[in-house]
């Protein structure tokens, strides 16, 4: 091994504090990109359906549209990916702009609770429309 091993590249303060790469930034960055790419065709599908089928639709027409298995599956995927993308984006904003560690942790936990509650409610509504109706 050379005289310049990885432990020599860290500063003394970095070695004491244990600071360094957390090895999670790349995964987070890729997840943001993958979810945004997945949202492109799903958003186009939803906007086309909104304009062609849902504007001015009666509740019965809405229920008939959501009762299709493919529509329910696409709507579920769109919702789940959209909330995951929002979760990742809000996390970056909190981590970048909130500097107090206690507030940061509290906001990150609050963000997760709100996102998952909204996701659960939305998926429950889709399931109700698909299986039970209005």
Domains of the chain listed by start with CATH number: 23-132 (1.20.1300.10)
Q: Does position 34 have pLDDT exceeding 60, yes or no?
A: yes
Q: What is the pLDDT of residues 64-121, one digit of tens each?
A: 999 999 999 999 999 999 999 999 999 999 999 999 999 999 999 999 999 999 999 9
- Cα gap 44→50, rounded to integer Å: 10
The mean per-residue pLDDT over the stretch 7-36 comes to: 73
Produce one character per residue of 82-117: b if its CB has 16 or more CB atoms within 10 Å, e if not. bbbbbbbebbeebeeeeeeeeeeeebbeebeeebee
Q: What is the pTM of this model?
A: 0.79
Q: Does position 7 have pLDDT exceeding 70, yes or no?
A: no
**Amino acid 25: pLDDT:** 77
């Amino acid at each position: 091994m050379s005289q310049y091993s990885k432990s020599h590249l860290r500063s003394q303060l970095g070695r004491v504090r244990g600071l360094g790469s957390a090895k999670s930034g790349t995964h987070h960055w890729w997840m943001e990109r993958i979810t945004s790419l997945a949202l492109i065709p799903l958003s186009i599908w939803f906007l086309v359906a909104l304009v062609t089928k849902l504007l001015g639709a009666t509740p019965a027409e809405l229920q008939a549209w959501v009762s299709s298995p493919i529509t329910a599956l696409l709507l579920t995927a769109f919702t789940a990916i959209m909330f995951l993308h929002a979760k990742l984006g809000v996390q970056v904003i909190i981590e970048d702009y909130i500097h107090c560690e206690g507030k940061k942790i509290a906001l990150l936990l609050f963000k997760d609770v709100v996102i998952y509650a909204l996701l659960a409610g939305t998926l429950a509504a889709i399931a109700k429309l698909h299986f039970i109706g209005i």
